[in-house]
């Protein structure tokens, strides 16, 4: 047979290959048409790559366009179909009412390569995920989540952040590092038992590679890897993603080693101490999923989730508030003119930082923080879900292993639920009587069993950090500087393009 092949001339070989490719393409087109006939409507996919090219061309436009197909749309990630839930009603039906069928996590090749399936966020819906999430929630609460002690951590960190932001008062500067460091210090104090100064170069480097990995994971590099995971054996930009992840793991492992050497079983200091004690406690339990690999990835998940999402939301907020200086001023002056000037000065002044008890006293600031979350839309298509079994949704058969996205872009701009869906306007969260009102379509933390683990922490951080900054600082855009593209950099998280801002100190003479 080999000799026969060798006798063929080049033209015959090329013709055979060409006909083979045509057959493969025709077969793929037939397969796609067959699948589309049984699935919810959606954009026509291309052979082998699906709708990925449409997404990469303009992610936000693509996600927004899916509404035209109705409450549910089908896309194709490579050759595999996925569904988008375009309405709050459908999202609730799937993620809450049918939670057991829609709470899986798809095996994203790039993330499996990095995490090996350990941790919490991307763990398969099952025994390990339940154990790790339950332990994380319990331990975070023990170390202050939802309590006054976390408020105190945020308030203390605000006292470092405000002067750091004012260090270059009157001059344009990029606020990303200061905000990211401040937000990260809250979860670090809970997980590692310590905070990191803003001039700590190693920690600054870690924050930089974390940001880089989040952006690269959803970029062309990440998409190509997910379509062709075999490239992990070859050089390329994807290797930098793996290298960055390994450097973060090394940092965590060093912290674990230090904690193990100084551990006092009677007095755990933080999440790592508590996890080390749990490993020891569960040693004789055959069903235990507590071991160092899971600990490192759980710490990594908490660090990543507790650092990037909130800091990204605040950075979007600074852009919105400089674009709408009237909102910024209204927030600030409400600090001191709501009800009686003397009373509010006595309560807050310029020195006493706010607490969560002040939410009712600062109603406009409170709704502004919510509007920053809505309009910031930092996870425009939600965090990936996967069906854990064959199920039905609105008359359609949804096979086991189908990837599911929540179209938060559509839900957070639904004209039926928002007064000003396409503009930044805090009035979206005020009822006709001027009181705080939260529409049911406000779900930046998702729904169901996979709801964001740090929702309570994020809400506390956003209100206290934003309020503290507006209390002491007036923000403005550098003269003649261009506004960033408001679509932002869309990846796992939608973040703003790098930008400079100018800070002006507010004082008692104002």
Per-residue pLDDT tens over the stretch 421-480: 999 999 999 988 888 999 999 999 999 999 888 899 999 999 999 999 988 899 999 998
Is the pLDDT at 345 greater than 50? The verdict is no
> Closest Cα partner for 314 from 436, 153, 468, 489?
468
d(CA 161, CA 149): 18
d(CA 443, CA 406): 10
Determine which helix (DSSP H) or strand (DSSP E) holds 179, and give its type and residue range. Answer: helix 176-191
Say what the pLDDT of residue 7 is.
52
- CA distances in angstroms from 65 to 61, 68, 353, 416, 485, listed in the order given: 6, 6, 43, 17, 19
Q: Which residue has the tokens 């755990």?
A: 268
3-state SS, residue 307: helix
Strand 403-406 relative to strand 80-85, pairing: parallel
Is the pLDDT at 18 greater than 90? The verdict is no
Q: What angle do CA 217, 305, 75 make, to 5 degrees?
A: 45
Task: Pick from 45-49, 152-156, 329-333 the range whose average pLDDT is largest.
Answer: 152-156
Q: Model-level pTM?
A: 0.91
Say what the pLDDT of residue 168 is.
93
* 350 pLDDT tier (thresholds 50, 70, 90): low
- Terminal CA-CA length for the chain: 91
Q: 193: which DSSP letter?
A: S
d(CA 348, CA 508): 12
> Per-residue pLDDT averaged across 396-414, rounded?
95
d(CA 160, CA 152): 13
Domain boundaries, the chain: 41-505
- In this predicted model, what pLDDT tens digit does every residue of 247-269 receive, in sequence order? 999 999 999 999 999 999 999 99
Name the CATH topology of 41-505.
Answer: Cytochrome p450 (1.10.630)
Q: 216: which DSSP letter?
A: H
> Closest Cα partner for 494 from 337, 383, 335?
383
> Per-residue pLDDT averaged across 283-290, rounded?
90
């Amino acid at each position: 047979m080999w000799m026969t092949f060798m006798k063929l001339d080049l033209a015959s070989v090329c013709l055979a290959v060409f006909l083979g490719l045509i057959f493969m393409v025709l077969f793929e087109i037939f397969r796609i048409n067959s699948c589309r006939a049984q699935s919810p409507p959606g954009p026509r996919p291309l052979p082998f790559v699906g709708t990925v090219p449409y997404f990469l061309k303009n992610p936000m436009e693509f996600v927004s366009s899916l509404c035209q197909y109705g409450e549910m749309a089908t896309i194709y990630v490579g050759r595999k179909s996925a569904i988008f839930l375009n309405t709050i009603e459908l999202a609730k039906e799937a993620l809450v009412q049918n939670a057991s069928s829609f709470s899986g996590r798809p095996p994203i090749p790039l993330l499996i390569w990095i995490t090996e399936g350990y941790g919490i966020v991307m763990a398969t819906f099952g025994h390990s995920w339940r154990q790790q999430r339950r332990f994380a929630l319990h331990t975070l609460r023990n170390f202050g989540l939802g309590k006054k002690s976390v408020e105190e951590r945020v308030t203390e960190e605000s006292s470092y952040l405000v002067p750091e932001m004012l260090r270059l008062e009157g001059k344009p500067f990029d606020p990303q590092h200061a905000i990211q460091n401040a937000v990260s210090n809250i979860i670090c104090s809970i997980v590692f038992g310590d905070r990191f100064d803003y001039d700590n170069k190693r920690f600054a480097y870690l924050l930089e590679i974390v940001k880089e990995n989040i952006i690269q994971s959803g970029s062309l590099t990440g998409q190509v890897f997910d379509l062709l995971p075999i490239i992990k054996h070859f050089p390329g930009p994807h290797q930098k993603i793996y290298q960055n992840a390994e450097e973060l793991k090394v940092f965590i492992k060093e912290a674990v080693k230090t904690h193990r050497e100084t551990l006092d079983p009677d007095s755990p200091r933080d999440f790592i101490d508590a996890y080390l004690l749990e490993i020891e406690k569960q040693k004789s339990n055959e069903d235990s999923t507590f071991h160092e690999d899971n600990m490192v990835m759980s710490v990594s998940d908490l660090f990543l989730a507790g650092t990037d999402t909130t800091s990204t939301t605040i950075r979007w907020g600074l852009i919105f508030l400089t674009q709408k200086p009237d909102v910024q001023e209204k927030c600030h002056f409400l600090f001191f003119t709501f009800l009686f000037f003397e009373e509010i000065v006595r309560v807050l002044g310029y020195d006493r930082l706010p607490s969560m008890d002040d939410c009712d006293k600062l109603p406009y600031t409170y709704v502004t923080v919510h509007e920053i979350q809505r309009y910031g839309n930092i996870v425009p298509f939600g965090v990936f879900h996967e069906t854990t079994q064959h199920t039905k949704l609105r008359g359609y058969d949804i096979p086991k292993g189908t990837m599911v996205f929540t179209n938060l872009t559509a839900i957070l701009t639904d004209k039926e639920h928002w007064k000003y869906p396409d503009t930044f306007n805090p009035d979206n969260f005020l009822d006709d009587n001027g009181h705080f009102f939260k529409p049911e379509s406000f779900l930046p933390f998702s729904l169901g069993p996979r709801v964001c683990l740090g929702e309570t922490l994020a809400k506390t951080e956003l209100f206290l950090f934003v309020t503290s900054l507006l209390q002491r600082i007036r923000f403005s855009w550098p003269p003649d500087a261009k506004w960033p593209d408001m679509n932002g950099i869309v990846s796992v998280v939608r973040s703003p393009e790098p930008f400079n801002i100018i800070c002006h100190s507010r004082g008692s003479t104002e």
